[in-house]
């Protein structure tokens, strides 16, 4: 019997996305964010998470969402990517999803080499579709060049 996947589900626009629960440290309300000069547009800045400085990415901007509404339901998913903590702003996040691994299909071909190659699969949960994303790629795509520059500087 296939292993169950434990996911944290969050919503951006009308879609539900999922990331493995093991990567998510906590989910917090959106506090005041300090903007950082020269950061890419989808990087909101940094916050103080109980004494730690955590970088904040607006995942909605990152996913190219057109209308971004600030509401009380907005949350920050604090995740660990490549051993660094990053906060992701999402429209809402509240559910833990459990689905069998065999319920996940490979992403449609069109995603594979386009902008959306951070989608690792589409899961079916009853009549809903959950888009599984790979956070490392989400945070790197388009950043590779910048990273390279930083590396050259150091």
Partner 1 sequence: MSFFSEDRVSELKDLFFESATELLQALNEQGLELERRPQDAEVVRSVRRTVHTLKGDSAACGYTALSDLAHELEDALTPELAKARGKRVAEVVLSAADIFQDMLRAYRKNAEPSSGAGLLDEIRALVSKTEAPELVVLTPAKKAIETFEWSEYEKILLQDAGRRGLKVLQVSLAVDPNCNTRAIAWQMVKNTFQDLGTVLLMLPEDAASMEKVDNLFAAIASSFDETHIAKKCRIPMVICDVFVERFGAADAAQVAAPVVEEVVTTKANASLPVEEVASESEPEIGAASISAAPESTLRVDAEKIDAVLNLVGELIIGKSMLTQSISEFDKKFGRDPLHAKFADVLGFQARVLADLQKSVMKVRMVPVEQLFRRFGRIVRDVAKACGREVRLELAGQTTDLDKSILDTLAEPMAHLVRNAISHGIESPDERVAAGKERFGTIKLNAYHQGNNVVIEVSDDGRGIDREKVVKKAVERGIIQAGEAKNLTEGEALNLIFHSGLSTAEEITSVAGRGVGMDVVKTVLDRLKGSIAIETEVGQGSTFYLKVPLTLAIIKALMFRSAQKLYAVPLTSVVEIIRATEAEIHKVDQHEVLRLRNEVLTLVRLNRLAAQAEKTSKIFVIVVAIGDRKFGLLVDKLVGEEELVIKALDHHLVSTELVSGASILGDGTVVLILDVQAVVSKLGRARTQDIKSAGAMA
Residue among 47 and 90 whose Cβ is closer to partner 1: 47
Q: Smallest distance from the beta carbon of 143 to partner 1, in angstroms?
A: 7
Question: 124 vs 32, 35, 106, 116, CA distance in Å?
Answer: 36, 38, 11, 19
Residue among 38 and 127 whose Cβ is closer to partner 1: 38
Give first-to-last CA distance, the chain, whole Å.
49
In three-state secondary structure terms, 27 is strand
Residue among 1 and 153 whose Cβ is closer to partner 1: 153
Contact 116, 101 (CB under 8 A): no
Q: Smallest distance from the beta carbon of 77 to partner 1, in angstroms?
A: 15
Tokens of 8: 């944290």
Q: Smallest distance from the beta carbon of 137 to partner 1, in angstroms?
A: 14
Residue among 14 and 50 whose Cβ is closer to partner 1: 50
Enumerate binding residues for partner 1 (CB under 8 A).
32, 34-40, 43, 45-48, 50-53, 55, 57, 84, 86, 139, 143, 146-147, 150, 153
Q: Smallest distance from the beta carbon of 45 to partner 1, in angstroms?
A: 7
Question: 98 vs 7, 31, 71, 107, CA distance in Å?
Answer: 6, 29, 27, 19
């Amino acid at each position: 019997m296939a292993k169950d996947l434990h996911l944290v589900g969050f919503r951006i626009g009308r879609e539900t996305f999922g990331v493995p629960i093991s990567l998510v440290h906590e989910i917090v309300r959106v506090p005041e964010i300090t903007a950082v000069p020269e950061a890419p547009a989808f990087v909101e800045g940094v916050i103080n998470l109980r004494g730690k400085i955590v970088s904040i990415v607006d995942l909605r901007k990152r996913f190219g969402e057109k209308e971004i509404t600030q509401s009380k339901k907005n949350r920050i998913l604090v995740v660990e990517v490549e051993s660094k903590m990053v906060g992701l702003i999402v429209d809402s996040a509240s559910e833990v999803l459990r689905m069998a691994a065999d319920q996940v299909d490979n992403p449609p071909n069109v995603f594979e080499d386009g902008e959306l190659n951070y989608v690792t699969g589409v899961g079916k949960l009853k009549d809903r579709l959950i888009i599984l994303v790979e956070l490392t790629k989400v945070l790197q795509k388009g950043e590779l060049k910048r990273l390279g520059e930083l590396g050259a500087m150091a």
